[in-house]
């Protein structure tokens, strides 16, 4: 069948089950009840402290076929998966499901061996990077990998679509009764927002820490009421893997220009006024765009309401300048942000549910005025791909892309027209649809700005402001004139990846290459 973005998807997929086709950003309404996790008990006086990961495997006990989950709050400093899976290997376990809220990342290359040997047989994540992504594309797993969004992750858990048997939470500080936080400790990582859903729903919750503090921990992110075991290890995560905050604006003139255009788009849109809310990443032209927006806000004495998402040092500075009342932090992107969350009461740790789950009483991305996002490919229908390269190989995932795009009043895609002067980024049809065109308002490139025809008023405003508005077809033509039209990857391989939209419908699939 064809879904609402015209992608051919099967009704049923072995290893995945029945497929619900994507019908539109807000077209699928939930009619279910939440998954019912088991009622637990910890006897008074019972100790939760367990000496080693191996001991906790035996206590639970972890068995073949179980799904284990991990979270990506330490980013490149994630150190838990390796330690836990080494135990699984030692104990001869097989057929484990792996759920990670983000990643595997390039340094997780060791996972490929676990996949080849059948220790890991399935993967559910918001994005895969590096050689694990390549291996998945090449079919290392028999079951299709599920790629969800950051908001889709807690939704899946709440719906019982993803049933985690045992979650391992890297906890930079814990007390002996299992009160946890990432705010402080030698491996402090800031927000633990991506682990909250698993703490609430997983069959068994194992906190792994390198810093046991005297009871009670007073800064509590995850409460003892949800934690079964506390395991002390040498290092639960490497804070050096959480990028040290650099708030320097890029000096690349092309990027600076694109960033300035983004800021001018925001200004021209009419959204930059009292109560403005904003999300942007730290990479590419985003940080520079934040700089320009900050200057505009200071000049016009605008106090915004909030910034949200992965929070980075520059947003922290804007918060501290009073440009925002609050920063809603589902993940802290650098050490300055970690420090801010620990000390600033307006820097608020939130769950991924609060951040972006489409199926609750209102996640924060639904209150965004604007978000600036990137793209691997954009097509003339404004569909965006951030899952695969133009060769069809997985190299990312939605993360919060389609969540924020759906929620924000205005979604800006900031991208060069071509990649490395070799491949077009604006094209007829993206290789993999991650975010539907209906959620995208503007594509900002170095040669011009294309506005989604669904948003006529915005187009007029940008034109009135003198911005270089072009038709998306025109951008495509310039891109193709510059680097040519590459061949499309074959689309007849086995399905190795299912790209779920935030509501659990399938927006696209990725095939073996």
The CA–CA distances, whole Å, from 27 to 21, 23, 371, 505 equal: 11, 6, 22, 10
Contacts with a second copy in 361-400 (CB under 8 A)?
Answer: 361-364, 366-367
Which DSSP category does 442 fall into?
A: E
| Residue 148 touches a second copy, criterion: CB under 8 A | no
Part of the chain binding a second copy (CB under 8 A), chosen from 144-152, 247-255, 355-363, 471-479: 355-363
Nearer to a second copy, 353 or 500 (CB): 353
Nearer to a second copy, 278 or 306 (CB): 306
**Residue 493 class from Cβ within 10 Å (0-12 exposed, 13-18 middle, 19+ buried)?**
middle
Q: Does 1 bind a second copy (CB under 8 A)?
A: no
Residue 61 to residues 81, 91, 204, 224, 249, Cα–Cα distance (Å):
18, 11, 10, 21, 50
For a second copy, which residue of 63, 247, 360, 391 counts as binding (CB under 8 A)? Answer: 360
* Tally of residues, the chain: 513
State how far the Cα of 4 lies from the Cα of 125, in Å rounded to an integer. Answer: 23
Please give the residues from 270 up to 289 whose contact with a second copy meets the rule CB under 8 A: 275
Cβ 159 to a second copy shortest distance, Å? 7
Rounded to a whole number of angstroms, the minimum distance from the CB of residue 360 to a second copy is 4
Cα dihedral sign for 99, 100, 105, 107? negative
User: How far is the C-alpha of 181 from the C-alpha of 201, rounded, in Å?
Assistant: 18
Asked if 328 interacts with a second copy (CB under 8 A), we say: yes
Single residue of 52, 225, 298, 491 touching a second copy by CB under 8 A:
225
487 binds a second copy (CB under 8 A): no
**Nearest distance, CB of residue 442 and a second copy, angstroms:** 18
Q: Kind and range of the H or E element at 329?
A: strand 324-332
106 binds a second copy (CB under 8 A): no
Interface stretch with a second copy, choices 12-20, 287-295, 323-331, 451-459 (CB under 8 A): 323-331
Answer yes or no whether residue 30 interacts with a second copy by CB under 8 A: yes
Q: State yes or no: residue 77 binds a second copy (CB under 8 A).
A: no
497 backbone dihedrals φ, ψ, rounded to 5°: -145, 140
- Residue 503's closest CA among 402, 433, 430, 410? 402
d(CA 349, CA 327) in angstroms, rounded, equals 8
For the CB of residue 186, give the shortest distance to a second copy in the complex, in Å: 20
407 binds a second copy (CB under 8 A): yes
Q: Which stretch binds a second copy (CB under 8 A): 40-48, 81-89, 114-122, 333-341?
A: 40-48
**Which among 54-62, 137-145, 184-192, 219-227 is the span making contact with a second copy, rule CB under 8 A?**
219-227
Asked if residue 214 binds a second copy (CB under 8 A), the reply is yes
Burial class (CB in 10 A: 0-12, 13-18, 19+), 254: exposed
Query: Of the two residues 145 and 224, which places its CB atom closer to a second copy in the complex?
Result: 224
Specify the residue, 40 or 460, whose C-beta has the smaller distance to a second copy.
40
301 binds a second copy (CB under 8 A): no
Residue 197 interacting with a second copy (CB under 8 A):
no
For the chain, the first-to-last Cα distance in angstroms comes to: 22
Task: From residue 152, give the alpha-carbon distance in Å to each of 215, 310, 431, 451, 512.
Answer: 34, 16, 22, 27, 24
- Residue closer to a second copy (CB basis): 305 or 391: 305
Q: 113: exposed, middle or buried (C-beta count within 10 Å: 0-12, 13-18, 19+)?
A: middle
List all residues 6 or more positions away from 451 whose beta carbon is below 8 Å from its beta carbon: 441, 442, 458, 459, 462, 469
Contact between 397 and 464 under an 8 Å Cβ cutoff? The reply is: no
Size of the site for a second copy (CB under 8 A): 61
Q: How far is the CB of 119 from a second copy (least distance, A)?
A: 28
The residues that touch a second copy, with contacts defined as CB under 8 A, are 26, 29-46, 48, 158-159, 177-178, 205, 214-216, 218-220, 223-228, 275, 305-306, 325-326, 328, 345-346, 348, 350, 353-354, 357-364, 366-367, 406-407
């Amino acid at each position: 069948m064809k879904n609402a973005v015209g992608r051919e998807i099967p009704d049923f997929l072995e290893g995945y089950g029945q497929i619900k086709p994507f019908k539109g950003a807000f077209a699928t309404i939930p009619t279910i009840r939440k998954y019912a996790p088991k009622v637990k008990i910890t006897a008074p006086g019972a100790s939760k402290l367990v000496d080693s990961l191996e001991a906790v495997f035996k206590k639970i006990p972890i068995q073949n076929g179980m799904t284990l989950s991990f979270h990506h709050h330490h980013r490149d400093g994630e150190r838990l998966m390796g330690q836990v899976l080494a135990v699984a290997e030692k104990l001869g376990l097989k057929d484990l499901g792996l759920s990670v809220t983000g990643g595997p990342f390039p340094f997780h290359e060791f996972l490929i061996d676990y996949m080849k040997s059948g220790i890991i047989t399935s993967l559910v994540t918001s994005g895969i990077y590096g050689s694990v992504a390549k291996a998945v594309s090449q079919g290392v797993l028999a079951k299709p990998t599920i790629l969800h969004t950051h908001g889709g992750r807690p939704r899946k858990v709440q719906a019982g679509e993803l049933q985690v048997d045992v979650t391992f939470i890297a906890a930079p500080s814990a007390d002996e009764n299992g009160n946890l936080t990432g705010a402080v400790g030698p491996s402090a990582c800031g927000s633990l927002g991506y682990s909250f859903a698993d703490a609430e729903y997983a069959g068994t919750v194992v906190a792994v820490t390198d810093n046991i503090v005297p009871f009670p921990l007073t800064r509590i992110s995850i409460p003892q009421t949800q934690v079964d075991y506390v395991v002390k290890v040498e290092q639960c995560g490497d804070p050096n893997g959480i990028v040290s905050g650099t708030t320097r604006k890029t000096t690349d003139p092309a990027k600076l220009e694109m960033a300035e255009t983004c800021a001018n788009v925001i200004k021209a849109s009419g959204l930059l006024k009292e109560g403005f809310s904003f999300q942007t990443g730290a990479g590419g032209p985003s940080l520079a765009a934040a700089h320009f927006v900050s200057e505009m806000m200071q000049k016009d004495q605008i106090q915004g309401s909030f910034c949200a998402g992965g929070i980075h040092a520059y947003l922290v500075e804007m918060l501290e300048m009073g440009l925002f009342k609050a920063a809603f932090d589902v993940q802290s992107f650098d050490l300055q942000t970690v420090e801010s969350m620990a000390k600033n009461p307006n820097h608020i740790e939130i769950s991924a549910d609060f951040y972006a789950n489409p199926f609750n009483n209102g996640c924060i991305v639904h209150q965004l005025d604007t978000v600036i996002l990137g793209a691997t490919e954009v097509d003339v229908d404004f569909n965006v791909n951030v899952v695969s390269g133009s060769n069809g190989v997985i190299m990312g995932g939605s993360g919060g892309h389609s969540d924020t795009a759906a929620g924000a009043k205005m979604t800006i895609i900031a991208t060069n027209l071509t990649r490395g002067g070799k491949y077009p980024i604006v094209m007829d049809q993206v290789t993999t649809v991650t975010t539907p065109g209906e959620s995208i308002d503007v594509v900002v490139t170095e040669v011009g700005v294309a506005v989604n025809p669904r948003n006529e008023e915005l187009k007029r405003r940008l034109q009135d402001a003198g911005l270089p508005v072009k038709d998306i077809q025109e951008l495509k033509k310039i891109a193709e004139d510059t680097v040519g039209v590459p061949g499309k990857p074959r689309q007849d391989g086995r399905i190795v990846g299912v790209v779920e939209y935030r509501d659990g419908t399938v927006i696209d699939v990725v095939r073996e290459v």
